[in-house]
């Protein structure tokens, strides 16, 4: 072995800026944490608990949507811009089902209140089914013919599809915000009461349902991707479409199924959104869609566990962030986007860091 001389590493100016920004941000965050927790506490434990609960619930919805982005991105290397609108469609599916259940008389009152379990299940099934179907047709109409086109082309098509879906929904259903008709036992805002610091903190039923159900769905999806034939095919296609096709995998079929699965998850997220937060309208999917994409990037796009972690993290940051930084809640979206920018600058591979294969030179 020849003696290796270490070449003089040139420190690039960008790395200096990176370091300075990083240290600055971290320092400020620590300072703020110290201030709000120890220095001059603004909120009591009970308020922090409320923030945490809200953040977890929101985060699990984001996570569910983020998985859809990650699956599609993993396979097609494209941002399915209309994914948030698939969630909106799912939310409407659940809405109409619950409205119908409310209007059918049964057991002294109506179907929804008499058999809440069945009604909610039906709402989920309807939302999931319609969203999965929309996902399938979205891919078939707006993306499949563009396979192999330059990257910008399918992205623009996706933006177009998103605008179309939002406005078609507005024309069909009207612009007003609609209240989800939850069954009586799942009334929004009601829940188990915890007493922290002598103050009541409500753990809402709808929130618990959201968190538990989305965890179950995520585990199921993870199993699907890791353990089943379809999952294996999906991973193969995401590695290399040509080779996968040569190995006898029906690439188009796998892509279709990916869109169906990601649509289904978005649909479930939409119904959860409706049950927990209540308001549904044509634009309801837009912001969660963008946030969920942020979450997917945070976690490392293409990675399913990354999307889950990213979603939960983003939900928590969004609900705790304004309090920690001492800014108004109006600016919570600024925090979400700010985090996205910072993550992309410092760790473009995301939290889980499934290294994105560098483009072959």
Partner 1 sequence: MKNMIRNSLRTGIVFGIITVFLFLVGFTGTAANILADLLNNESAPPLFGWAPPMLNTVIFVGLIGLWAGASGASREKDVAGDPYGAAVLGGGIAGFVQGLLTGLVMALVGTLNERGVMMSKYLAELLPAAVKQAMLGFPPPGAGAFYLLFLTAAGALGGLATRGLGRGGRRPREAIRTWAREKVEVLPWVQSLRRSPAVKYAVYGILLLGILLLPLFAGQYWNYTIGTVGIYVLLGLGLNIVVGLAGLLDLGYVAFFAIGAYAMALLTAPTPHNLMWNFWLVIPIGILLAAVTGILLGAPVLRMRGDYLAIVTLGFGEIIRILSKSDDLSDFTGGPRGVPAVAGPDFFGLNVNSGIAFVYLIFLSVLLVIFVTNRLQNSRVGRAWEAMREDETVSRAMGINTLTQKLLAFAIGAAFAGLGGALFASRNQFTGPEDFNLMVSINVVAVVIVGGMGSIPGVIAGALVLKGLPEMLRQLEDYRVMVFGALLVVMMLWRPAGLIPSSRRKMEIDKDAGLAETAEEGRGK
Partner 2 sequence: MTVALETRGLVKTFGGLTAVNVVDLAIREHSIFSVIGPNGSGKTTFYNCITGFYEPDSGEILFFEKPMTGLPPDQVTALGISRTYQNIRLFANMSAIENILVGEHSRMRANWFEAILLTPRVVREEKAAVEKARQLLNFVGLAGLGDQQARNLPYGAQRRLEIARALASQPTMLLLDEPTAGMNPNETHEMTLFIRRLRDELGITILLIEHDMRVVMGISERIAVLDYGAKIAEGTPAEIQGNPRVIEAYLGSGAASGIKPVVRQLE
Given the complex with partner 1, which of 246 and 361 has the nearer CB atom? 361
Least distance from C-beta 333 to partner 1, angstroms? 6
Instruction: Count the residues of the shown chain that bind partner 2, applying the rule CB under 8 A.
Output: 11
Least distance from C-beta 167 to partner 1, angstroms? 4
Q: Which does 210 bind (CB under 5 to 8 A by kind): partner 2, partner 1, none?
A: none
Contacts of 323 (CB under 8 A, 6+ apart): 36, 42, 43, 47, 48, 51
What are the φ and ψ backbone dihedral angles of 174, each rounded to 5 degrees? Answer: 85, 165
What span, in angstroms and rounded, lies between the C-alpha atoms of 295 and 311? 5
Least distance from C-beta 155 to partner 2, angstroms? 18
> Does residue 337 belong to the site contacting partner 1 (CB under 8 A)?
yes
Judging by beta carbons within 10 Å of its beta carbon (0-12, 13-18, 19+), is residue 164 exposed, middle or buried? middle
> Does residue 156 belong to the site contacting partner 1 (CB under 8 A)?
yes
Residue bearing tokens 């979205």: 138
Q: Which does 243 bind (CB under 5 to 8 A by kind): partner 1, partner 2, none?
A: none
Residue from 35, 52, 96, 116 touching partner 1 (CB under 8 A): that is 96
Contacts of 8 (CB under 8 A, 6+ apart): none
Instruction: Count the residues of the shown chain that bind partner 1, applying the rule CB under 8 A.
Output: 56
Residue from 38, 152, 195, 361 touching partner 2 (CB under 8 A): that is 361
> What does DSSP say about strands 178-179 and 279-280: parallel, antiparallel, or unpaired?
antiparallel
- Sole window of 127-135, 201-209, 256-264, 336-344 interacting with partner 1 (rule: CB under 8 A): 336-344
Residue from 166, 264, 306, 310 touching partner 1 (CB under 8 A): that is 166
Strand partners, 279: 179
Least distance from C-beta 216 to partner 1, angstroms? 29
> Of 322, 342, 346, 344, which is closest to residue 333 (Cα–Cα)?
322
> Does residue 163 belong to the site contacting partner 1 (CB under 8 A)?
yes
Q: What angle do CA 159, 161, 166 make, to 5 degrees?
A: 100
Given the complex with partner 2, which of 246 and 361 has the nearer CB atom? 361
The residues in 1-20 that bind partner 2, with binding defined as CB under 8 A, are 1-10
Q: What angle do CA 248, 74, 311 make, to 5 degrees?
A: 145
> Does residue 323 belong to the site contacting partner 1 (CB under 8 A)?
no
- On whether the CB atoms of residues 248 and 303 are closer than 8 A, the answer is no
> Does residue 223 belong to the site contacting partner 1 (CB under 8 A)?
no
Given the complex with partner 2, which of 207 and 302 has the nearer CB atom? 302
Contacts with partner 2 by CB under 8 A lie at 1-10, 361
């Amino acid at each position: 072995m020849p003696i290796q001389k270490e070449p003089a590493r040139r420190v690039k100016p960008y790395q200096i800026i990176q370091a300075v920004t990083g240290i600055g941000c971290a320092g400020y965050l620590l300072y703020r944490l110290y201030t709000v927790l120890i220095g001059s506490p603004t909120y009591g434990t009970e308020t922090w608990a409320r923030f945490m609960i809200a953040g977890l619930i929101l985060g699990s919805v984001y996570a569910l949507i983020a998985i859809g982005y990650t699956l599609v991105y993993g396979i097609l290397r494209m941002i399915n811009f209309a994914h948030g609108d698939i969630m909106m469609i799912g939310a409407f599916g659940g809405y109409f089902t619950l409205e119908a259940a409310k209007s059918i008389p049964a057991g002294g009152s109506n179907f929804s209140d008499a058999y809440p379990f069945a009604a909610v299940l039906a709402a989920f099934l309807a939302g999931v089914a319609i969203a999965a179907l929309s996902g399938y047709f979205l891919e078939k109409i707006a993306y499949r013919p563009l396979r192999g086109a330059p990257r910008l082309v399918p992205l623009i098509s996706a933006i177009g599809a998103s605008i179309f879906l939002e406005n078609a929904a507005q024309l069909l259903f009207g612009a007003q915000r609609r209240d989800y008709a939850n069954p009586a036992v799942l009334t929004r805002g009601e829940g188990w009461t915890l007493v922290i610091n002598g103050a009541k903190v409500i753990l809402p039923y709808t929130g618990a349902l959201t968190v538990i159900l989305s965890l179950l769905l995520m585990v199921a999806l993870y199993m699907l991707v890791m353990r089943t034939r379809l999952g294996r095919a999906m991973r193969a296609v995401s590695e290399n479409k040509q080779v996968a096709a040569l190995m006898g995998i029906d690439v188009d079929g796998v892509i279709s199924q990916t869109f169906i699965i990601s649509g289904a998850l978005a649909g479930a997220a939409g119904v959860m959104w409706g049950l927990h937060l209540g308001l549904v309208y044509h634009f309801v999917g837009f912001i969660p869609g963008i946030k969920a994409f942020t979450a997917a990037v945070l976690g490392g796009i293409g990675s399913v566990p990354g999307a889950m972690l990213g979603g939960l993290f983003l939900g928590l940051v969004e609900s705790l962030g304004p309090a920690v930084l001492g800014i108004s809640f109006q600016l919570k979206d600024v925090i979400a986007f700010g985090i996205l920018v910072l993550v992309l600058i410092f760790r473009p591979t995301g939290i889980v860091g499934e290294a994105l294969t560098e483009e072959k030179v």
